Amino acid sequence: MMTKPGCVYLVGAGPGDIGLVTLKGYTYLQQAEVVLYDRLVNPLLLEYASQQAEFIYCGKMPKKHILRQEAINELLVKHGLEGKNVVRLKGGDPSVFGRVGEEAAALEQAGVPYEIVPGITAGIGAAAYAGVPVTHREHSLSFAVITGHDKSPSGEPLIDWHALANGIDTIAFYMGLGNLPYISEQLISHGRSSDTPVLLIQWGTTGKQRTLQGNLATIVQKAKAAQFKNPAIILVGDVSTLKKGESWFESKPLFSQHLLLGRAGEEPSEMARHLREQGAEVFEFPRMQKKKHLLKKADIPANRDLLFLSPASVDIFFESLQANKIDIRRIQGEFYGISKKTVKAIESYHCFGKEIAERSPDAPPLVILGDPEGFHRKEQRYPFVFEPDFIATHSFIRVQQTEQTFSRLQEEERIETIIFPNARSVKTVTEGFQACGETPENISTYARVICFGEKSKQAAVKAGYAVSEVLSEPTEEALQEVLLQKEAPLVAAALS
C-alpha cells in the first residue's frame, strides 16, 4: 500500500528579522515534520518549529555548498513521498534568486503536492531597515532586482547593462560584493553617472546590519577598506541619499545586541519580548519541553489544602481530575498559588484561589504540586510553607533542536556575553552548552559573564565561568541599564 504524499511548503523566511516571516509561513513552520533551511535563514526561526521536527541544514556560500541543489531536490521529494509535511525555509523570498522554480519542478515531476509561500525580499526589507524606500516620488519611479553573480564562466552577470544603467532608477544587486568592481565599471561605461549614490547593506534587518555609503566611483575602495562581505545588498540610485545617519532600526537602544536568555520553563519570557522591542535579537536558551505526570486517582489529595507552584501545575491537576473522572466537589481543601499568575490559573477553572502569603503559618501542612526544580527553588524562598508532601505534576526536558540553533548562532559569532539571574539558570544553560560541545571555561574566553546576584555568581564560579560583573539589583530594569551602558553586545540567561 502506497503512502499518501505529504506536502512541501517552499517558504520565504524574510531577510533576517524573525518578525518579518509571514503568518502563513510561521504556521507551516510550526506544523512541519521536516525543515530544510538555508544559511541566510535566521537560526532563531528554528525555535518556532515543532519540538519533534527534523532539521536539515542546506547552507550555501559562494563556491561552497553543504548540499548540492540536486541533493536538496531529492530530499524534498523523498520526505514528501513519505507523507510528511516539509518546510523548505529560504532567506528572503523563495522566488527571488531562491531557485524555487527548480525545486517546484522536481516536486511536480514526482507528484508531490507543494505550495509557494512568498516572503519579504532582501532588496526591499534591508533597504527599509536602513531607512531607504526603494521607490520615492521625487527620486525613484522604478526598481529592479539583479543577481550579483550568475552561471557565466566568470560569474559576472550577463545582462543588458545599457538598459539597466539608463532605464532603472533604483537597482538592488544581490550577493554581488565579489563583483562590485565589475558592476560599478559596467554601469558607468554604459551611461550611469559616476556620481550615482550607492548604499551597501550587510546582514540587513538583523543585529549585525552594517551600511556603507558612497557612489559608483568610490564605493569599491570604501568597501575594501571597510572589509564588507556578503551577505549584502548593493543599492544603486538617488534614494540612497535619503539615509541620513542612523535609521529607525539602527537607532533602537539595544540595536546590534544579541541576547541569549536561558529559560528553565516551557513558556517564552516577557523579558525577551521587551528586549526585542528595544532592538535586541533574543535567543531563549535552552528551549524546554514540558513532560506531564498525570496524577493517579489514589494520589489526588481530597482533604488537604493544595499549593500550586505554577500555572502548568494547575492545568495538569485539573486534567488529572478529568482523566480520573473525579468531581471537583470531592476536593475539600483550599487552593493556593505561589504567585498572582498561578492564582489566575486557578481562577480560570472557576475555583477560588489565594496567594500563599494569605495563609496562616499555623494552618495544617500543605500538599505542594509542581515540578521538582521549581520545588527546590521556591523552598528556599518560602521555608515556612514547605513540607515533605510534594507531588510532581511535570518536569522539563531540553529540546534537542535548540542545540542546532545555538551552533548556528555560534558560527555567526553571535554569542558574546552571558547573564545568569539565578543559580537555576546556571544549571540549565550549562547543560545546554555542554550538549553543544561547549564548556564554561572555553565560553568565558570570548563571552562576558554577568550575574544578577551573589547566589548566581557563586553557582557560575563553581560551574567554571569567569564572572566579570554582578548587577546592582536583580531586575529587568537593572539589566537594561547595563545593556545600554555597554558597547559590547550581551548574551543573557533569563529570569525564570
- Supply 230's cell numbers: 556578503
Tracing cell 511548503 back to the chain, one arrives at 9
| 401-411 helix and 423-435 helix, angle to the nearest 10 degrees | 80
- Is the CB of residue 38 less than 8 Å from the CB of residue 18? no
Judged by phi (left if over 0) then psi (alpha if -120 to 50, else beta), residue 286 lies in: beta
What is the rounded distance in angstroms from the CA atom of residue 313 to the CA atom of residue 394? 7
What is the rounded distance in angstroms from the CA atom of residue 140 to the CA atom of residue 142? 6
- Supply 174's cell numbers: 544581490
Measured in whole angstroms, how far is the alpha carbon of residue 299 from the centre of its chain?
A: 40
E strand spans, 58-113:
60-61, 64-65, 85-90
Catalytic, out of 24, 60, 455, 486: 60
- Is the CB of residue 7 less than 8 Å from the CB of residue 115? yes
- Kind and range of the H or E run holding 368: strand 367-370
Q: Which residues in 436-468 are b (16+ Cβ under 10 Å) and which e?
A: bebebeebbeebbbbbbbebbbebbeebebebe
What is the rounded distance in angstroms from the CA atom of residue 223 to the CA atom of residue 200? 8
What is the rounded distance in angstroms from the CA atom of residue 302 to the CA atom of residue 294? 16
Q: Compute the Cα dihedral for 326, 309, 491, 431 and give only its sign.
A: negative
Catalytic, out of 175, 243, 305, 457: 175
What is the rounded distance in angstroms from the CA atom of residue 426 to the CA atom of residue 419? 9
What is the rounded distance in angstroms from the CA atom of residue 440 to the CA atom of residue 431? 10
- Is the CB of residue 282 less than 8 Å from the CB of residue 261? yes
Residue 208: active-site member: no
Residue 38: active-site member: yes
Instruction: Give how far Cα 236 sits from Cα of 92, 199, 203, 311, Å.
Output: 19, 7, 17, 54
- My answer on whether omega of the bond before 440 falls inside 30° of 0, hence cis, is no
Instruction: Give how far Cα 443 sits from Cα of 100, 102, 207, 390, 415, Å.
Output: 39, 42, 21, 37, 9
Catalytic, out of 38, 93, 315, 371: 38
Tracing cell 494547575 back to the chain, one arrives at 314
- Is the CB of residue 144 less than 8 Å from the CB of residue 164? yes
| 423-435 helix and 454-463 helix, angle to the nearest 10 degrees | 30
Catalytic residue numbers? 38, 60, 175
